Structure 1
Amino acid sequence: MFLLNALKKNSNEFILKLIESFFGKMSFMVFTLLFALICTRLYGPEIFGKYTYAFSLVSLFMIIAKAGLDNGLMYSIPKNNNKHISFSFIVNILLSIVIVVLLYVFIQDIYIRWMLPLIWLVSAERLFFGIYRSQGKIKEYYFINGFLSMIIRIGSIVGLYYVTGENEYSVALGVYISFIFSNVVYYIKNKKNFGEVNVDKEYLKYSIPLVFATMMSTIINRIDIIMIGNMTNESYVGIYEITFLVSNSVASLLIIFNTVFAPKIANLYHSGQIEVLQKLYVVSTRGLAIVALIITVIIIMNSEFILSVFGEDIVEGVTALNFRSIGQFINIAVGGVWLMLSMTGKTKFQLYANIFVCIVNISLNFILIPIYGINGAAFASMVSIVLINITGYFIVSRLFKVKVFKYI
């Protein structure tokens, strides 16, 4: 009876937060696609590709700057309240400065250099995301991130286009403005959570493996963009980025789910409600798999039409979109497997698996891109995503003694 009552209570609360996360993430996804559409229509796929290549590098090094502390805060806040918040942001600022300075020394491209300070802005926003998720304030976070900030970003690039014309710096400037706005608002709203800086080595020990695991995961997702940029041209980068964004409309289901599921895992785990956690994972993952299958089939059947909306040049990415969509379906069908491990303190599994799959991903991209271009990159991405998620599924099934699907 206790288990049923606990499951019902947690399920009702979970569903409410899931609905909030759904509308917030959908808003962000729609505006992100609109941002890409306007960029390709106004500035062309080449300038959009140049921005995408630079921002992919920013996203990669942002992982080091946030040092796994976004997940660290989700793990810590249920136990320690605001103890580690100030310390996390101090570490983030120091790491961002070091990373940006070092990259300025080694990177000569002026445009990429101009984008590098975004490493701090993007990583700081991720730390705020960790705070909001821990506090269950999903709606408040996405109102700023997925609505206000994106409106400012889109409005900025449109306004700058009519002032400067087809200037790649206008796209970057619009992104800067939106991230500065969101971080300022987040800080004002969370100022009371900042206090004494508590240096905690144990807290860092938990977070550090997540730095490498998350970095490997980001490389798996974004190294294809970087390698396409080096092996082909910026137009193909732009085309491939559109396939990435469209296929991620499927992946957004898992992101929405994990936004709520991560802090729930930590809360249930720390309170000893393991059976409730097991049930919640199984039921939620089955639902995700069904919805993901429907959306994936719709995207594959209408892939040419979807890409044509972004311009006739973008239709070349149909095969790449199909490969990426299949990979994202598997990603969603196994649920939040890696969060089940990281939010229960088992971070090393994710690190080892991501290192192995990252090597596989880079190797496949290196072999396939020169031969098949963006289709080769998409196939490599599909294989890597399937491999990492199937691995995570079997680890979770074994450790937590759960079986989501009847025969697997």
Structure 2
Amino acid sequence: MHIGIIKNKINNSGFILKIIESFFGRGSFLLFTLLFSFVCTRLYGAEIFGIFTYAFTLMQVLMIVATAGFNNGLMYSIPKNGYKDVSFSFVINFLLSIVLIGIVWLVVDDIYIKLMLPLIWLLSAEQLFFGIYRAEGQIKEYYYINGFLSMILRVTLIIGLYFITGKNEYSIAIGVYGSFLLSNVVYLFKNRKKFRNVSFDKGYLKYSLTLILASMLGTLINRVDILMLGNMTSNADVGVYQIAVQVSNILSSLLLIFNTVFAPEISRLFHNGKKVEMRKLYVKAARILTIVSLVITITLIISSHYVLLLFGDEFVRGQDALILRSLGYFVNLAVGGVWIMLAMTGEPRFQMYANIIAFFINIVLNLILIPIYGITGAAFASMVTIIFTNITGYIIVSKKFNIKVFKFF
């Protein structure tokens, strides 16, 4: 009887249903990502995994420029203008990707990084498709491709190539290429009817360009520690730190799962003038996220040694880094989707300003702490930056929308 009532409530609430779909979709992606890292570290070791991680992180940073903010821009635009801006977004994305690939190819000497450069386009195009799926509420369909089919192919390829070509970083790169090629081809086929004549919209471009800087800085804040570790320490340190990052990302993935559905819902409520419902949704979500994240954070801290031991003895030294990053992400979840609230209500500039300050704080702290404390110093710098950024966002949202999630704050 009670189960039937719960099912009816879930079916009658599209938002809750989408949250559940996002949870299982993103959860499968996270599990397969950890499986991918587990296989890489066990077969290839921390050194080779560190080489791949450094190059792939660089591609992830450059990818943000290639998206030009259109991944979030499409979520804002589609509920209002339909698919008018889809073709324009992908054309600009392709052109920016070509320019970035050409510039970096001329600047860097590392052959492995040059080999990885086309991933800039594949990564950024997938993010644009993600924006379309989120705007439509088709979360389950997106993650079936991204979090299941693509990741199965990736893991299968790196295992197979290990026995064919041996222990080298190029086998990992081929596996990653194969997975992104598959996902983008499937997304393109399924969304081919949404591509129309290229239509230039000055307002859409202006909105998206504001998001690009905010997104770029946000990615740099999350990834600059790995890039600086790669330049200031060893590839093995990068590999160990990456595992600590991925395990702590269990927390950040919860917010991403929520924001996957929260963003288009906030956009819809805002465009329909339902600001009271919008505020209530944020408050309830932030309180639930606080409770859930507290439980997971405590669990991660208690079990951190044993979790890292799964990847090999050499990864246990990343325990302090895992704990520090987990504490930072706890604050990230506790304040809820503050920057989504601002971006989906036409105010992305606040995130841009906050991220500019946070980026410089992160750089300075990494420069000071990495030479002394290594990966633990990098993790502390990230924790401080994450806390600063999200507390700032919470204060802005509280003032702008007259919201108080917690009794005294």
Coarse TM-score class (shorter-chain normalised): over 0.9
**How far apart, CA to CA, are the structure 2 residues paired with 1:82 and 1:253?**
29
Tell me the secondary structure at the aligned position of residue 404 of structure 2.
coil
Q: Is the 8 A contact 2:11 2:17 kept in 1?
A: no
- How high is the sequence identity, in percent, across the aligned residues? 60
User: 2:172 matched to 1:181?
Assistant: no
Per the alignment, residue 310 of structure 2 pairs with 309
CA–CA distance in structure 1, aligned partners of residues 10 and 198 of structure 2: 36
Q: How does 1:235-246 map to 2 (within 5 A)?
A: 235-246=236-247
Residue identity matched to 2:312: G
- Distance (Å, rounded) in 1 between the aligned partners of 2:251 and 2:132: 26
Q: Structure 1: which amino acid aligns with 2:285?
A: S
Q: Which amino acid counterpart does residue 90 of structure 1 have in structure 2?
A: V
User: What is the alpha-carbon distance in structure 1 between the residues aligned to residue 23 and residue 68 of structure 2?
Assistant: 27
Q: Match of 2:233?
A: 232
Alignment gaps of 5+ in structure 1: 1-7
Q: Does 1:145 align with 2:146?
A: yes
CA distance in 1, matches of 2:39, 2:234: 21
Instruction: Report the alpha carbon displacement of residue 104 of structure 1 after superposing the two structures with TM.
Output: 0.4
In the alignment, what sits opposite 1:170? 171
Distance in 2 (CA, whole Å) between partners of 1:232 and 1:357 is 23
2:349 aligned residue: 348
Q: 1:305 to 1:313 in 2, by over 3 A?
A: same
Helix, strand or coil: the match of 2:403?
A: coil
- Over residues 289-341 of structure 1, what are the superposed CA-to-partner deviations in whole Å (9 max), with x where a residue is unaligned? 10000000000011100000000000000001000000010001000000000
Question: CA 1:10–1:279 in structure 2 vs 1: closer, same or farther (change >3 Å)?
Answer: farther
The one-letter amino acid of 1:229's match is: G
User: Deviation of residue 11 (structure 1)?
Assistant: 8.7
Contact 2:10 2:16 in 1 (8 A): no
Q: Deviations over 1:24-60 (max 9, x none)?
A: 0000000000000000000111110000000010000
Indicate whether 1:159 and 2:160 are aligned: yes
2:399 maps to a residue whose letter is R
In 2, Cα distance between equivalents of 1:404 and 1:196:
45
Q: Deviations over 1:171-206 (max 9, x none)?
A: 001000000000000000000111111011111100
- Give yes or no for contact 1:292–1:332 (8 Å, CA) kept in 2: yes
Q: Specify the alignment match of 1:83 in structure 2.
A: 84
In the other structure, the counterpart of 1:4 is none
2:5 aligned residue? none
Q: Secondary structure at the match of 1:353?
A: helix
Aligned-partner residue type, residue 13 of structure 1: G
Q: Which residue of 2 aligns with 1:58?
A: 59
Calculate the TM-score normalised by the size of structure 2: 0.97
The residue type paired with residue 243 of structure 2 is: I
1:214 aligns with 2:218: no
The runs of 5 or more residues in structure 2 that have no matched partner are 1-8
Alignment check: 8 A CA contact 1:78 1:267 kept: yes
The separation in 2 between residues aligned to 1:154 and 1:317, in whole angstroms, is 24
Q: Which whole-Å CA distance do the structure 1 matches of 2:12 and 2:47 have between them? A: 47
Residues in 2 aligned to 1:295 and 1:81: alpha-carbon distance in whole angstroms: 39
CA distance in 2, matches of 1:212, 1:388: 15
1:45 aligns with 2:49: no
- CA distance in structure 1 between the aligned counterparts of 2:10 and 2:234, rounded to whole angstroms: 53
Classify the secondary structure of the residue corresponding to 1:402: coil
Give 2:163's aligned amino acid. Answer: Y
Which residue in the other structure is 1:93 paired with?
A: 94
Query: 8 Å contact 1:11–1:280 — kept in the other structure?
Result: no
Aligned partners of 1:157 and 1:170 also within 8 Å: yes
- 1:94-127 per-residue CA deviation (whole Å, 9 max, x = no partner) reads 0000000000010110000100110000000000
Q: Which amino acid aligns with 1:364?
A: L
Query: In the alignment, what sits opposite 1:5?
Result: none
What is the DSSP-based 3-state SS (H/G/I as helix, E as strand, rest coil) of the residue aligned with 2:191? helix
Q: CA deviation at 1:12?
A: 1.8
The CA distance in 1 between the partners of 2:10 and 2:273, in whole Å, is: 16
The equivalent residue for 1:295 is: 296
Q: What is the identity, as a one-letter code, of the residue corresponding to 2:59?
A: V
Q: Retained in 2: the 8 A contact 1:338–1:350?
A: yes
Aligned position for 1:401: 402
Contact 1:64 1:95 survives alignment (8 Å) = yes
The size of the alignment, in residue pairs, is: 401
- Quote the offset at 1:10 in angstroms: 12
Please give the secondary structure, in 1, of the residue aligned with 2:13. Answer: helix
Cα separation, 1, equivalents of 2:181 and 2:206: 30
The one-letter amino acid of 2:32's match is F
Match of 1:284 in 2: 285
Structure 1 segments, 4+ long, off by >2 Å, are: 8-11
Question: What SS class does the counterpart of residue 310 from structure 1 fall into?
Answer: coil
- Deviations, residues 123-164 of structure 1 (Å, cap 9, x unaligned): 000000000000000000000000000000000000100100
Match of 1:3 in 2: none
Counterpart for residue 3 of structure 2: none
Alignment match, 2:37: 36
How far residue 250 of structure 1 moved from its aligned partner, in angstroms, is: 1.0
Q: In the alignment, residue 131 of structure 1 is paired with which amino acid?
A: I
The Cα of 1:251 is off from its aligned counterpart by 1.0
Do structure 1's residue 27 and structure 2's residue 5 form an aligned pair? no
CA distance in 2, matches of 1:167, 1:21: 35
* C-alpha distance in structure 1 between counterparts of 2:401 and 2:392, whole Å: 14
Secondary structure of the 1:302 match is helix
Q: Distance in 2 between matches of 1:256 and 1:289?
A: 14
- TM-superposed CA distance for 1:9, in Å, is 10
Q: Give the Cα–Cα distance (whole angstroms) in 1 for the partners of residues 138 and 238 of structure 2.
A: 35
Structure 1 residue aligned with 2:17: 16
CA distance in 2, matches of 1:365, 1:13: 43
Counterpart in 1 of 2:192? 191
Q: Is the 8 A contact 2:225 2:366 kept in 1?
A: yes
Distance between the aligned counterparts of 2:86 and 2:264, measured in 1? 16
Contact 2:150 2:179 in 1 (8 A): yes
What letter matches 1:235 in structure 2?
A
In 2, Cα distance between equivalents of 1:50 and 1:11? 48
Q: Distance in 2 between matches of 1:76 and 1:159?
A: 43
Distance between the aligned counterparts of 2:377 and 2:161, measured in 1? Answer: 36
CA RMSD of aligned residues (A): 1.1
